[in-house]
Chains A and B, each alone.
Chain A
Amino acid sequence: MAVEVPMPRLSDTMEQGTVARWVKQEGDRVVAGDVIAEIDTDKATMELTAYEDGVLLKILVGEGESADLGTPIALIGAEDEEVPETAARGNGPAQTAPQEDQPGDAGAPEAGGGEPAPSEPGEPPAPEARSAVGDGLRASPIARRMAAEGGLDLRELAGKGSGPDGRIVKVDVERALGQEGGPGAAAVEPGTTERAASPGQPPSAEEEIIEATPMLRAVARRMSESKATVPHFYLDAEIDMGRALELREELNRALADDGEKISVNDLIVRAAALALVENPKFHRSWHDGTFVLHKSAHVGIAVALDDGLIVPVLRNVEQKSVREIARESRDLAERARAGKLKQTEIEGGTFTISNLGMYGIPSFSAVVNLPEPGILAVGAAVKRAVVRDDAVLIRPIMAVTLSVDHRATSGAEGARLLGSIQRLLEQPVLLLA
């Protein structure tokens, strides 16, 4: 008999989860304790482990789709076990709202909304637990698309849309997402006769309003979430980059014939990774009263796009040479600009480096990229007069600012991490060790 895998409660406040990735595929053998999927909660991406041995018979909630807590998202059973025809999402516990106010738009056959499952006689039919076609919700296609992009559960608006028979339309989603006053006719409230001027409407020909791309909306949402929920603190350090720059020059001379090039950032990525592994009390994420300890450093590099921002992640950096880091980060950055990164390449980071040195910015502070514990903001290395052994020397100094999630770790741990990074960059031969 197949066992349902319900959408688990992975954070205290989550009401539904989104399948970020299926680690196991249909037909794969699973052993209790295996990670079978990664679930995006309201806070972070979490791993879902299996509680049973068997075979992943059926995936009921696909990647990118959401389900309420308790809703079955997969079936695990014996090999060759037949998957019940009606084993579709929504047959599970009654977290899902009963289908109502949705005349004439029954779910697609595979939604299982019409008939009770034979395996569970007497269970009332429940609707599909996601906002997609076939779920019995009346919503226009653009409303569905915008809701999906904006992370809005359309069931909140079920039957209350402004369209015919309560169809949820674009303006309803715009209102729910707080985008009133955007382009289109978002500002009309029911009952008003004409569209009112709103703060978001351009007052004159000198202004223009454009839609944010899904990427920029995601950036906006994540940054707001971080600044609103993460208690940030900031630590500054000045790093003498003289020897690191010399090392880089030497490396580049040696690699010139191979057409390879090491950047300052590659050295910083390597230093950060080694420092993270050296400082496990820093290298951990806060998850609602628990710490996720990171054993390997996955370092994200913030890449500016034409109009956007993306953070591709280099994995297991402490195990990689500077050359490997250079090759991989160039490849990731190029594909980031070409829009060709895979989802797996932009997730799972444990730390981020944001470098505005090439713009000549001396120093700045960055917003923590959840659920990572910290982000290092790197400025330009500029020649400065420094006092050493009572002598004034001219040294290339790079100012860095470490932003830290104070829930994950403390000021002292942050200072230790920064100290490690400084030591590695000021004695850069250690980066090669």
Chain B
Amino acid sequence: MAEVTYREALRRALDEELDRDERVFLMGEEIGRFEGSYKVTAGLWAKYGPKRVRETPISEEGFVGAGIGAAMLGLRPVVEIMTINFILVAQDMVVNHAAKIRYMFGGKVGVPMVIRTPGGAGAQLTAQHSQSLEVWFAHVPGLKVVAPSNPRDAYGLLKTAIRDDDPVLFVENLVLYNVTGSIPEPDEDFTVPLGSAHVAREGTDLTIVAHSYTVRRALAVADRLAQSGFEAEVVDLRSLRPLDVDTVVESVRKTNRVLIAEEGWATFGVGAELAARIGRACFDDLDAPPERVGGAEVPMPYSKPLELAALVLEDKLEAAARSLLAECGLAGAGAGRD
């Protein structure tokens, strides 16, 4: 096991896959000489050369489309979009082409492409650069969407995504890149399956479901709750599509209470989807309606105090958890932190 950053875990997965399969190539803005805005492709241009680590102009629609074409013709492109905010100009390529080609070509051709891109907020990058838009893509049949929360899952899921025969949106997170964790030594066989959630912490009183960076916040909140005697179970979704409802349901059946947390806006979000699924599968197991918490429903403010107020920080998550416990007669839960 090696202790590495999330960034390094991604870099190793790319390196291993480039080495393993010559059909794999990288494409994106500044990913070569400059090694990427977040340095995920560090050293790869030098090692594999400009043919397999291709720099592109600022033209997301163009190079995502080029990636789709390459994938249809048998290559395995891994396209980097500098942040998820810039994928919007390539939306037609992603939603109308990548997602639909296998269907519209009668299954005769697929798009084995990965789009890597970080979402998230918290660095005063303001409204246009501080978004979590992954649910937009999780809405679309034909796409797969993953959002790992730690280096190990990032390493395993990126390899799985590259080997998958369909388009995968691989959502990273700006604030996660420097987070460290252990990953296996280089191992071709280590992968993490798509569509498989992970119980990151076991508990009995409350289930908190989250993905990406919010999982770390949920784990911190679970520790705080434990100091008051409440054991929260934290389910890390890891994939949004396919969505591992079974793991969530199993947890809720055990705890009878569920809070779904996401960094993006809650309206029409992951919590909305899961609340519906849980309401159906766990109706007789619930002690209170499923609760959800998301970012403030405003464009992300630039002002630091306002940005902090808009984010789903631990205090906000903890208050939501305690409020849910209080609704279930757990008087000690309180409405928030003392």
Binding site for B on A (CB under 8 A): 140-145, 161-164, 169-172, 183-185, 188-195
CB distance from A279 to the nearest CB of B (A): 47
| Cross-chain contact B329 with A161 (CB below 8 angstroms) | yes
Give chain B residues whose Cβ lies under 8 Å from the Cβ of A192: 331-332
Grouping DSSP codes into helix (H, G, I), strand (E, B) and loop, the A interface class, with mixed when no group exceeds half, is: loop
Max chain A C-beta neighbours (<10 A), residue from B205, B284, B285: B284
Confirm or deny: B334 has a beta carbon within 8 angstroms of a beta carbon on chain A.
Answer: yes
Per CB-CB distance, the 10 closest pairs between chain A and chain B, nearest first, are: A162-B329, A195-B229, A171-B329, A170-B287, A185-B330, A140-B287, A169-B329, A142-B256, A194-B332, A141-B284
Offer 20 A-B interface pairs, CB within 8 angstroms, sorted by A: A140-B288, A141-B286, A141-B287, A142-B256, A143-B287, A145-B284, A162-B328, A163-B328, A169-B287, A170-B328, A171-B328, A171-B329, A184-B255, A184-B256, A185-B229, A185-B330, A185-B332, A188-B331, A192-B332, A194-B229
CB distance from A139 to the nearest CB of B (A): 10
CB distance from B325 to the nearest CB of A (A): 7
CB distance from B303 to the nearest CB of A (A): 35
Confirm or deny: B180 has a beta carbon within 8 angstroms of a beta carbon on chain A.
Answer: no
Contact flags (1/0) for B287-300 with A, using CB distance below 8 Å? 11000000000000
**Total residues of chain B contacting the partner, CB 8 A:** 22
Binding site for A on B (CB under 8 A): 204-205, 228-230, 255-256, 283-288, 325, 327-334
Give chain A residues whose Cβ lies under 8 Å from the Cβ of B287: 140-143, 169-170
> Among A162, A184, A189, which residue has its beta carbon within 8 angstroms of that of B204?
A184
| Cross-chain contact B288 with A163 (CB below 8 angstroms) | yes
User: Given A142-B287, A145-B284, A195-B228: A163 and B332 within 8 A (CB)?
Assistant: no
Bound complex: CA A170 to CA B288 (Å)? 9
Bound complex: CA A188 to CA B228 (Å)? 11
> Among A141, A169, A193, which residue has its beta carbon within 8 angstroms of that of B285?
A141
User: Given A162-B329, A171-B330: A142 and B285 within 8 A (CB)?
Assistant: yes
| Cross-chain contact B284 with A162 (CB below 8 angstroms) | no
| Cross-chain contact A185 with B325 (CB below 8 angstroms) | yes
| Cross-chain contact B284 with A188 (CB below 8 angstroms) | no
Q: Which residue of A lies closest to B331 (CB)?
A: A190
Bound complex: CA A242 to CA B286 (Å)? 59
Bound complex: CA A191 to CA B333 (Å)? 11
Max chain A C-beta neighbours (<10 A), residue from B205, B288, B325: B288
| Cross-chain contact B288 with A189 (CB below 8 angstroms) | no
Give chain B residues whose Cβ lies under 8 Å from the Cβ of A145: 284-285
User: Given A183-B204, A185-B205: A169 and B328 within 8 A (CB)?
Assistant: yes
CB distance from B210 to the nearest CB of A (A): 21
Give chain B residues whose Cβ lies under 8 Å from the Cβ of A140: 256, 286-288, 328
Max chain A C-beta neighbours (<10 A), residue from B204, B283, B287, B325: B287
Bound complex: CA A143 to CA B330 (Å)? 14
Bound complex: CA A184 to CA B287 (Å)? 11
Bound complex: CA A141 to CA B288 (Å)? 8
Give chain A residues whose Cβ lies under 8 Å from the Cβ of B230: 185, 195
Give chain B residues whose Cβ lies under 8 Å from the Cβ of A189: 331
Q: Which residue of A lies closest to B204 (CB)?
A: A183
Give chain B residues whose Cβ lies under 8 Å from the Cβ of A193: 331-332, 334
| Cross-chain contact A188 with B286 (CB below 8 angstroms) | no
> Among B205, B228, B331, B334, which residue has its beta carbon within 8 angstroms of that of A162?
B331
> Among B204, B283, B327, B332, which residue has its beta carbon within 8 angstroms of that of A188?
B332
Give chain A residues whose Cβ lies under 8 Å from the Cβ of B228: 194-195
Q: Which residue of A lies closest to B256 (CB)?
A: A142
Bound complex: CA A256 to CA B331 (Å)? 67
Bound complex: CA A86 to CA B120 (Å)? 57
Give chain B residues whose Cβ lies under 8 Å from the Cβ of A172: 329
Bound complex: CA A139 to CA B330 (Å)? 15
> Among A169, A184, A185, A194, which residue has its beta carbon within 8 angstroms of that of B288?
A169
Bound complex: CA A141 to CA B258 (Å)? 14
CB distance from A245 to the nearest CB of B (A): 49
CB distance from B230 to the nearest CB of A (A): 6
Q: Which residue of A lies closest to B289 (CB)?
A: A140
CB distance from A228 to the nearest CB of B (A): 30
Give chain A residues whose Cβ lies under 8 Å from the Cβ of B325: 185
| Cross-chain contact B205 with A141 (CB below 8 angstroms) | no
Bound complex: CA A140 to CA B255 (Å)? 13
Bound complex: CA A124 to CA B313 (Å)? 53
Give chain B residues whose Cβ lies under 8 Å from the Cβ of A162: 328-329, 331
Bound complex: CA A343 to CA B271 (Å)? 40
Give chain B residues whose Cβ lies under 8 Å from the Cβ of A190: 329, 331
